[in-house]
Amino acid sequence: MLKKIKNTLELVKFSHTIFVLPFALSAFLLAFYDKYPASFWTLFFYYKIIWVVIAMASGRSGAMAFNRVIDRKIDSKNKRTMERTLPKGELSVLFGIIFGTVSYIALVIAAYELNFTCFALSPLVIVFVTFYSFTKRFTFFSHLVLGISMALGPIGTWIAVTGSLDFKILILGIAVVFWGAGFDVLYAIMDYDFDVANGLFSVPAKFGIKNAILVSRILHLLALACLIYLYFLFNLNFLYAVGIILVIIFFAYEHFLVYKSLENIDTAFFTMNGYISMTFFIFIFASVIYANFYLKS
């Protein structure tokens, strides 16, 4: 049973939830901070945060499960991925489909508990995040599709709290799009030879490794520009500014690692992007808590 659980967590890379969940929780904080400042402190007793976490975790798990199922034949040929659970036969394709389906059902239930708008949009979200798994077969824009899939988390969280869409949260969503696409372009460098040999689409395969690194840098600069813009949109304070300075340092170090050696891509991808998302959330949290405490005192 423990091995089954371990293989299931590996199937959906559950640990990677740390990449997107902090942005969703940041959107949760910003929605209260922007729309309900007089009752901000009630968010700590706001039960919907539980359903937001369930929706995020289940939606991502479902998307990853179907990604693994859809890509299993490709993964079995790639030296980097042939040790994954489905190619190795540690889990069956049927298990992956069932797990993904149950995860998506959990997403729909969570969306229903949030509000009708989230519930109505949940099927479209499921279709879109599942569609991503096919994109590497026909377009190098697959990285942007992944980024958009990731951005649906914070945007959906905002809708869960406010019941509507807002330009402000779209800026955070765009930042996540560029951030996710940027690190996915770097990650795709590891499959450059395989993608070229098998006719798969990615920015490295289309434009070469050097150009892919340049594209990644541009995307991350755009992401940073959006994050800086949030400071003015939400009238945030110096704590957020400190957080953004740290995020800039992490971005710079991520690209320094890749510049130093392509063998550092794993570290740049997993470690630095985890630091980026967690740092952003921590300083959003600190900023809005300080603002409410200062304004009330």
* pLDDT 10s digits, 228-282: 999 999 999 999 999 999 999 999 999 999 999 988 888 777 788 889 999 999 9
**Distance of alpha carbon 219 from alpha carbon 128, whole angstroms:** 22
In which domain, by residue range, is 72 found?
2-296
pLDDT category, 289, cuts 50, 70, 90?
A: confident
Q: Residue 295: pLDDT above 60? A: no
Tokens of 75: 């993964």
pLDDT, tens digit (0-9, with 9 covering 90-100), for 81-99 = 888 888 888 888 999 999 9
Closest CA to 134 of 63, 61, 59, 223: 63
Tally of domains within the chain = 1
Q: Are 186 and 265 in contact (CB under 8 A)?
A: yes
DSSP state string for 179-218: HHHHHHHHHHGGGHHHHHHHT---HHHHH-HHHHHHHHHH
Answer positive or negative: Cα dihedral of 71, 75, 78, 80. Answer: positive
Query: For residue 2, what pLDDT is reported?
Result: 65
pTM of the model: 0.93
Query: What backbone torsions phi and psi does residue 113 show, to the nearest 5 degrees?
Result: -70, -20
**Distance of alpha carbon 30 from alpha carbon 197, whole angstroms:** 45
Q: Bigger pLDDT: 147 or 41?
A: 147
Q: Supply the CATH number for residue 28's domain.
A: 1.10.357.140
